[in-house]
A and B are shown apart, each in its own frame.
Chain A
Amino acid sequence: MSGFDRKIQRFLEVFINAGGYNKVLEGLQNTLLIAVLGLVIGIVVGTLIATVRVLPKYKRLPRILNGICSFYVGLFRGTPIVVQLLVFYYVLLPLMGLKMTSVAVSVVVFGLNSAAYISEIMRSGIQSVDPGQMEGGRAVGLSYGTTMMRIIIPQAVKNILPTLGNEFIALIKETSVVSFVGATDLYVAFNYIGSNSYEFMVPYLVMALIYIALVLIISMLVKAMERSLRKSDRSR
């Protein structure tokens, strides 16, 4: 075990003395930032897309919008996220003459990507709400949009909350590719420690443990949220 002890020693040296912990904090911050903001963008855009996709289709405008949305969803679900990141950063940004930090790009791409997945989750959530709820709203003179916003979507969100939790966990895991466009995430931070201590076993082990801890914490939060929602369903 003395070999392993020495490895830990080397890890701690770089982690504490050579500023490794700063890198790790930065990486953790970016990982969470990209995942959380990505989820928020994903929920907002995804809900919009889902709303378009469940629109009644006998008029032309909904049909066109629906076509655009299903193209969008197909595009983002049909290509690897790494490719989306690279294309956005190295192709689209230069073409449009824009400058963005790699973290900002990651937030946008992960947001747009998760929007595609969340729109499908949200769509099935909306479709799982009893159609009578829409009828009830329309019958008292509320518009389609108002009924959607005030009655249908809140119930849909409640139905899909566990699935949204899983989507968040998937996002956290997938952010480990943002180093492709130069963003510092947990992987980059521990890679830095590894390169500087010439020793990769402990850094990557710690990295794995941090990911596991993150996922466990989020699962617990989602469970707690579900439980409190279910409670408000029965009593109160």
Chain B
Amino acid sequence: MIEVVNLTKCFGDLQVLKGIDLTIEQGEKVVIIGPSGSGKSTLLRCLNCMEDPTSGQVLYHGVDLTDFKVDINEQRQKIGMVFQHFNLFNNKTVLENIMLAPVITQKKKMKKLRRQKDADAEIKTKAQIKADAKENALALLERIGLTDKADAYPSQLSGGQKQRVAIVRSLAMNPDVMLFDEPTSALDPEMVGEVLEVMKDLAKSGMTMVVVTHEMGFAREVGDRVIFMDEGKILEEGTPDEIFNHPKNPRLQEFLSKVL
């Protein structure tokens, strides 16, 4: 589903990614681990071109996202992303946070359909779009048990609640893949569990997931494949059992001895 070909990324003189090749299959759960500054976030952010790669290709369903002619906004609607610091819209309620992007993109789509005068296309009114988005948003809130927070602002939520809302905000766009960048690192320890729980449910539902995390327990339990990165390169990859129980690369052995 995602194919990364010889990807490099430089920030000025600093080369952060040094030729990454990676393929992610439909439904796969890939966990990326590695020391701080090894380029994990940068790699993840290149997958949806939040950072423009310096060279190489990122193919998503065969479409090269690094091509400037590709409508990157349209592609990103199908690639969910969850950040360490949640990045919920502070000026919107929880419900509005979840509804905003679906409503805006649906409206745009309807406008386009109306211009094409396609007789078979189902044209929805603005009110219908809103009503559908709201129904979907409420269903998602129900799923994470936060229905009673629908009208709260992000500033009134705990960290764990914010991150759960951020996850369903992405899900509201019906993405084919979800990217997570250390989703539990900014949380108080007692809130880590509730967020991991939502992510495990998501994994069970068959979602394709790419997760950068320091939660080795989660990597073992949920990951189909674990990738170890250091200094901008993938040094080792394999099943959780191979990576955690039989690490070959000395750097990986050293890393694991520190974090386990």
Contacts and interface: CB of A to CB of B under 8 A. Distances in A.
Contacts of B100: 140, 142, 150
B173 interface: yes
A146 interface: yes
Nearest to B93: A236
Interface in B34-70: 48, 50
B76 A141 contact: yes
Given A140-B169, A151-B89, A155-B90, A132 B153 contact: no
B133 to A, nearest CB: 13
A140 B76 contact: yes
Given A135-B83, A154-B91, A155-B91, A141 B50 contact: no
Contact of B90 (A133, A141, A143, A146): A133
A133 B87 contact: yes
Interface in A122-150: 130, 132-133, 135-143, 146, 150
Contact of A141 (B73, B83, B91, B153): B73
B101 A132 contact: no
A151 B50 CA distance: 18
B89 A137 contact: yes
Contacts of B153: 233, 236
Interface in A87-139: 130, 132-133, 135-139
Contacts of A227: none
A133 B151 CA distance: 19
A139 B104 contact: no
A234 interface: yes
B38 to A, nearest CB: 21
B105 A141 contact: yes
Contacts of B251: none
Given A132-B87, A133-B90, A135-B87, A140 B170 contact: yes
Interface residues of B, number: 31
A158 interface: yes
B151 A143 contact: no
B74 interface: yes
A139 B89 contact: no
Contacts of A236: 151, 153
A143 B89 contact: no
A158 B83 contact: no
Contacts of B77: 140-141
B151 to A, nearest CB: 7
Contacts of A137: 89, 101
B134 to A, nearest CB: 17
A154 B153 CA distance: 15
Contacts of A140: 76-77, 80-81, 100-101, 169-170, 173
B234 interface: no
A142 B87 contact: no
A229 B50 CA distance: 32
Nearest to A147: B89
B130 interface: no
Contacts of A135: 50, 83, 87
Given A136-B83, A236-B151, A141 B173 contact: yes
A133 B97 CA distance: 11
Contacts of B78: 141
Residue in A150, A155, A158 whose Cβ sees the most chain B Cβ within 10 Å: A150
A60 to B, nearest CB: 14
Contacts of B50: 135, 138-139
A84 B154 CA distance: 46
B256 to A, nearest CB: 31
Interface of A: 130, 132-133, 135-143, 146, 150-151, 154-155, 158, 233-234, 236
Interface of B: 48, 50, 73-78, 80-81, 83, 85-92, 100-101, 104-105, 151, 153, 155-156, 166, 169-170, 173
Given A141-B73, A151-B89, 17 more contacts: A132-B87, A136-B86, A136-B87, A136-B88, A137-B101, A138-B76, A139-B48, A139-B81, A140-B76, A140-B80, A141-B74, A141-B75, A141-B78, A143-B73, A154-B91, A158-B91, A234-B155
28 contacts: A132-B83, A133-B87, A133-B89, A133-B90, A135-B83, A136-B87, A137-B101, A138-B50, A138-B76, A139-B48, A139-B83, A139-B170, A140-B76, A140-B77, A141-B74, A141-B173, A142-B100, A142-B101, A142-B105, A146-B104, A150-B100, A151-B89, A151-B92, A154-B91, A233-B153, A234-B156, A236-B151, A236-B153
- Closest A-B pairs by Cβ, 4 of them: A136-B87, A141-B77, A140-B101, A139-B81
